[in-house]
Chain A
Amino acid sequence: MRRQKFKLAFIANNSARKATYKKRKRGLIKKVNELSTLCGVDACAIIYSPYETHPVVWPPSAIGVQRVLSQFTRMPEMEQSKTKVNQETFLRHRIVKTKEQLKKQVKDNREEEMTEVMFQCLTGKDMMNLNMTDLNDITWLVDHCLREINKKCEKLKNSGRDAGTANVVGADPILEEIKPLILNVNPNFSTGFNPSVAADGMQSSTWLAGGFVNNNGASSSYNSNQLQGRPGIANDIMQGQPQ
């Protein structure tokens, strides 16, 4: 059955609610069973509903449930409470976790996006519409690339030395040429990337907002509708052709 989008609220329609209860109750019991079996752990579930005269339980026997319950009640209060949740505490925790994931995803997306912008600029695209934050981010990325290249050059140089063969002819002279070009980049990028989410629209990238003009003069913009003022350039670059 296809994944269905549902509203997370009490189902007002009686028959719909009863039908949902039946399905989800069955699913929940199945999940408890699977968890217990796959991980070899003790578990129990008790469900009270207006649809049944007795509680629905797992394990299916009274003895099974009692066993787990006595194991539980035997534990010191402290141990129990550490990881005991009700709906409210559970939901709060979920919100925190999801927000963290969101933050990370936005940051990663921004990095991907700006890397593309950097490469576009590298091949001559106009930088006029980039704001300070964008320029800062691009500078960071450029420095990051330079560091990576330096590392690789070092490796190649060393392996060339170790191999001591003529296969790496010209490696050393070229590297000596490159060295003076390598500026002194500061390796202390402690927090790395900083996203510039437009909380109040002030810091949003005007370059991104305006879309960018590709070779044919057409422009386009892509809107991520969930976060305000955060248009992306994914579609733009797909249409533009780097030279």
Chain B
Amino acid sequence: MDQIERKNKGRRKIKMAKMEKESNLLVTFSKRRSGLFKKASELCTLCGVQIAIIVFSPGKKVFSFGHPNVETIVDRYLTSPNFSSPQPNNNSNINMLEAHRSAKIQELNAEVTQVTTQLESEKKRGEALDKMRKMNQNKCWWENNVSELNLAQLQHLLVALEELKIDVAKEAVMGASTSNQIVPYMGTYNDTYPGSNIFNNL
């Protein structure tokens, strides 16, 4: 009973102390560090603030995020730790550079948002497909994994699939003769198959 309850709990409350299992700790570090930088980046964009974050990994490597960059923030802090002295900003060249930088950031932010939205939409679609698949597996024995089937069913399925293969080939021949597609219809896939390069433009 306990095991079933524990299965898909999703978000759970965790103890606020150093993690015990090292493998979990490393994964957590990686994920949370990435999330932390993401939040910092968002705060910079949304509120126009300047941030530096420095994190040491369990393996003693260092990761840092800084806007506009780590060095200026660190220097600024070290020279006067207690004051948020406004930066001299009357040089028009600096202003132009800042403007250019922030336009670039705007562009990148828009792109991140777009790709993330696409990913979420495809994930949702994947969930719908999975759900449907499970439904169908309940109705049709042949849709289940091969490991679940008995010998008689496997034999039956084997014959049916062989027939289907022949039918598909016939269909392809008919299609090829009536269209001007030059795509080969049978055989192995390899990296030079036209469809495989489509994602290079994403």
Contact = CB atoms under 8 A, between A and B. Distances in A.
B partners with A: yes
Interface of A: 6, 8-11, 17-18, 20-21, 24-25, 27-28, 31-32, 34-50, 52-55, 57, 62, 65-66, 68-69, 71-73, 75, 79-80, 82-88, 90-92, 94-95, 98-99, 101-103, 105-106, 108-109, 112-113, 115-116, 118-119, 121-123, 127-128, 130-133, 135-136, 138-140, 142-143, 145-146, 148-149, 151-153, 156, 171, 174, 177-178, 181-183, 186, 188-197, 199, 203, 224-227, 232, 234, 237-238, 242
Given A121-B164, A127-B171, A39 B190 contact: no
Interface in B120-157: 121-123, 125-126, 128-130, 132-133, 135-136, 139-140, 142-143, 146-147, 149, 151-152, 154-155, 157
B172 to A, nearest CB: 5
B62 to A, nearest CB: 6
A38 B121 contact: no
B4 interface: no
Given A10-B45, A28-B40, A53-B83, A86 B202 contact: no
B98 interface: no
12 contacts: A11-B46, A40-B25, A43-B54, A46-B52, A52-B84, A53-B83, A54-B83, A84-B65, A88-B104, A91-B108, A132-B185, A190-B189
Contacts of A69: 54, 74, 77-78
A47 B49 contact: yes
A132 B175 contact: yes
B71 to A, nearest CB: 9
A190 B118 CA distance: 28
Nearest to A80: B62
Given A48-B51, A132-B172, A88 B105 contact: yes
Which of A48, A91, A119 has most B Cβ within 10 Å? A48
A98 B122 CA distance: 12
B7 interface: no
A193 B195 CA distance: 10
B161 A45 contact: no
A171 B151 contact: yes
B90 interface: no
Contacts of A88: 101, 104-105, 108
Interface of B: 14, 16-19, 25, 28-29, 32-33, 35-58, 61-70, 73-74, 76-78, 81-84, 101, 104-106, 108-113, 115-119, 121-123, 125-126, 128-130, 132-133, 135-136, 139-140, 142-143, 146-147, 149, 151-152, 154-155, 157-162, 164-165, 167-169, 171-172, 175-176, 181, 183, 185-191, 193-196, 198-199, 201-202
Contacts of A54: 82-84
B161 A122 contact: yes
| Chain B contact residues: helix, strand, loop or mixed | helix
Contacts of B76: 48
A72 B62 contact: yes
Nearest to A140: B189
Contacts of B36: 28, 31-32, 35
Given A86-B65, A87-B67, A242-B140, A102 B122 contact: yes
A30 to B, nearest CB: 10
B136 A116 contact: yes
B183 A83 contact: no
B56 A191 contact: no
Q: Which 7 A-B pairs have the closest CB atoms?
A: A91-B108, A49-B49, A40-B18, A21-B47, A148-B146, A112-B129, A226-B121
Contacts of B165: 139, 142-143, 146, 183
A151 B41 CA distance: 51
Contact of A31 (B35, B175, B198): B35
A8 B46 contact: yes
Contact of A135 (B17, B56, B74, B168): B168
